[in-house]
Amino acid sequence: MKPGLDNPFAPRDHGHFVTITPRVRLWRSIVNSTLFVGERGCALVDTQVNHALARRLLAAIAREVGKPLLYVINTHYHWDHTNGNPVFQAAGATLVASRRTARAMVERAPRQKAFLSGLRTPSPRSIPSSTWEG
């Protein structure tokens, strides 16, 4: 196994990249995000639990990769994977998700807001506009 991935249940130092391959990096945090590095720029899978961690991740991408973040891909609607969307959208990334995920982000937002009571959940402008059926 790769260093840092040998025991997924071990205590971790939150907020750093683990290189999987030269083009794939895992951001180890409360919720993991995966960065794919391409020729023109990067694509990020999942955006962290809050804006502070999202800003930390965005700074690390700029510092360590030095390529623009072109896309953010939301795997599902849960707040802990989408709450950083506004940070990356403001930085110019296109938000991408399945139509089902984008719909769930809107339809289930009131339930998530009630559950979280006080935490910021994604606003409607942070819902992916680039979607696919599936």
Tell which wins on pLDDT, 20 or 107.
Answer: 20
Q: Quote the radius of gyration of the chain (alpha carbons, Å).
A: 15
- Could you read off the pLDDT of 39-90 as tens digits, one per residue? 999 999 999 988 999 999 999 999 999 999 999 999 988 878 898 999 999 9
Q: What angle do CA 82, 39, 19 make, to 5 degrees?
A: 60
Q: What residue has token string 């995000």?
A: 33
pTM of the predicted structure, to 2 decimals = 0.79
Give dist(CA 71, CA 8) in Å, integer. 27
User: How far apart (Å, rounded) are the C-alpha atoms in residues 76 and 101?
Assistant: 5
The β-bridge partners of 97 are 131
**pLDDT of the residue at 124:** 53
Q: Could you report the per-residue pLDDT of 109-124, keeping only the tens digit for each?
A: 777 677 666 656 555 5
List Cβ neighbours of 68 (8 Å cut-off, separation of 6 or more): 40, 41, 42, 92
